[in-house]
Structure 1
């Protein structure tokens, strides 16, 4: 049997590939590519394996979309799709696991060190309670971990597609602008790269300014340099909404084991995030505020928690 398994972490923008050592639980040959419109997953995998001059017999595909029992998997935020049976046959696999990308991220949590995390408030975690994981990138991923007889079990879901409540008239105005654009407005419309743009353009409309097609990176850059008041306001709202949504997750399963933030956006402005209204919004839960105040929040700074977690998931499935 091959020593290595293939693991992937496929998001709406980037795809990551690595080899997972089934003996040592270590990652190697990590490769990141930008997904283009016409990419075919099987071709991407074959190219990657050819570049490493290895054959694998097992794989775990972590991908940003709902996972069910259907053979064909279709992504939410891009056009990539694939057939499980085709992958198994074309790659001569004896085992293939396909999981949600945040299921993979959640499975990495027990293996992360203090160096992989930045703590933002709260007490020490109580690991007899569940853990919540969420993160903004191209979309908004959500998962939970619960411990059963000393084993961590991941609860996957599509929590990013729930609605986000507004708590002030100013926020109502932002939501009203997004309703005009989308009809139903999910939390992902606020908490994602496109969400940053959505908030910014809503503020432009509220302030009767012409729409600008700025990218999320430019909005964040302008906010951090304080060169654009509306960009600064946008990033502040983003952090506030991240806190409110995280606090909602904390209450849903009483996640005294901690709340973990993944995704590629927040680590880009971690100092701003720490001093933003994030924690205040996280804790602002009325009669339940006393409970949420205890719960620690961690930002994951590990480069590839999805790849690591995909390997852990595959390893656990073999047991």
Structure 2
């Protein structure tokens, strides 16, 4: 019997695994810079697993960007992919491309104990959408709908590019400071790795301070070390995330819960859990009570995108 392969391809790394018995097997991570194409990287993976060309029945790859048409150009690395050429080269019968954040959303259906932390207590309503939001290189926003027993639909969108919401005079001043520098201020302008640096620079400018840090890692390290300025920036980052997540919950009716994913928040998990995120999340005036009982989780699972690709492939092959 031929194997099923799943992949989650980012700007720096490509993760591959075999999908067997509804689970990931033999996960390996490859640096995209070391290979000229996804086909070359996958052949290296198959070689390591002792699988010959032609040994795959189907492949599902999670990729950043729209997935229509035969040609796909990766937005954050040098790879390109032609569906037709891919299938011919690897002798694959079926190739499925899925938006990377759709895969991330579907991965939430396979979380295990120890792979998430509770941020806000509540009981998820399985009949309502769930929100998946993730500050990372950018800000990913998607929704997850339960269609029935073991059937799910992930709806990707561009919710990271909505206007940055403000809730008080200080936040309005931060937004205006950024607007003077770059023009339109989206949620992603702040809620991303690079956004943390922009937020730090804006807050320093407002308070007449000279910036001392130039990277997200330096800011988070300083915050973890107790530096007041860096702590204030991280706190404001968490509050902005709460406002954006809360807006999306109201728009979607996402009483199925909120999953916070991405690489930024796990850098300062304990600070996040003690932050004003929850207060800002529900700070919606006459609609604040709507958030009573909406659960929020911080996801720490390592391979959610890969798992989601597996779920997508399995659903496709079963129907």
So what's the TM-score if we normalise by structure 1? Answer: 0.91
Looking at structure 2, the residues matched to 218 and 8 of structure 1 have their Cα atoms a distance apart, in angstroms, of 31
Looking at structure 2, the residues matched to 210 and 313 of structure 1 have their Cα atoms a distance apart, in angstroms, of 48
Stretches of structure 1 that go unaligned for 5 or more consecutive residues are none
Q: 1:282 to 1:77 in 2, by over 3 A?
A: farther
Structure 2 residue 197 is matched with structure 1 residue 197: yes
Partner of 1:32: 29
Partner of 2:235: 236
Q: 1:14 to 1:136 in 2, by over 3 A?
A: farther
How far apart are 1:95 and its partner, in Å?
A: 0.8
Q: 1:191 to 1:56 in 2, by over 3 A?
A: same
Partner of 2:278: 279
How far apart are 1:200 and its partner, in Å?
A: 1.1
Looking at structure 2, the residues matched to 11 and 70 of structure 1 have their Cα atoms a distance apart, in angstroms, of 20
Q: 1:292 to 1:68 in 2, by over 3 A?
A: same
Looking at structure 1, the residues matched to 121 and 67 of structure 2 have their Cα atoms a distance apart, in angstroms, of 36
**RMSD of the alignment, in Å?**
2.1
Partner of 2:145: 146
Looking at structure 2, the residues matched to 182 and 73 of structure 1 have their Cα atoms a distance apart, in angstroms, of 30
How far apart are 1:79 and its partner, in Å?
A: 4.7
Structure 2 residue 119 is matched with structure 1 residue 128: no
Contact 1:16/1:30 (8 A) holds in 2: yes
Number of residue-to-residue matches in the alignment: 314
Partner of 1:172: 172
Residues 6-21 of structure 1 aligned to structure 2 (within 5 Å): 6-21=5-20
Q: 1:205 to 1:75 in 2, by over 3 A?
A: farther
Looking at structure 1, the residues matched to 167 and 264 of structure 2 have their Cα atoms a distance apart, in angstroms, of 24
Contact 1:5/1:57 (8 A) holds in 2: yes
Deviations 1:87-137 (A, max 9, x none): 222211111111111211211222223332211113111111111111111
Looking at structure 2, the residues matched to 213 and 40 of structure 1 have their Cα atoms a distance apart, in angstroms, of 36
Contact 2:5/2:58 (8 A) holds in 1: yes
Deviations 1:250-297 (A, max 9, x none): 111111111111112212221111110011111111111111122000
Looking at structure 2, the residues matched to 181 and 78 of structure 1 have their Cα atoms a distance apart, in angstroms, of 28
Contact 1:123/1:296 (8 A) holds in 2: yes
So what's the TM-score if we normalise by structure 2? Answer: 0.91
Looking at structure 2, the residues matched to 270 and 257 of structure 1 have their Cα atoms a distance apart, in angstroms, of 23
Looking at structure 2, the residues matched to 176 and 33 of structure 1 have their Cα atoms a distance apart, in angstroms, of 42
Partner of 2:221: 221
Stretches of structure 2 that go unaligned for 5 or more consecutive residues are none
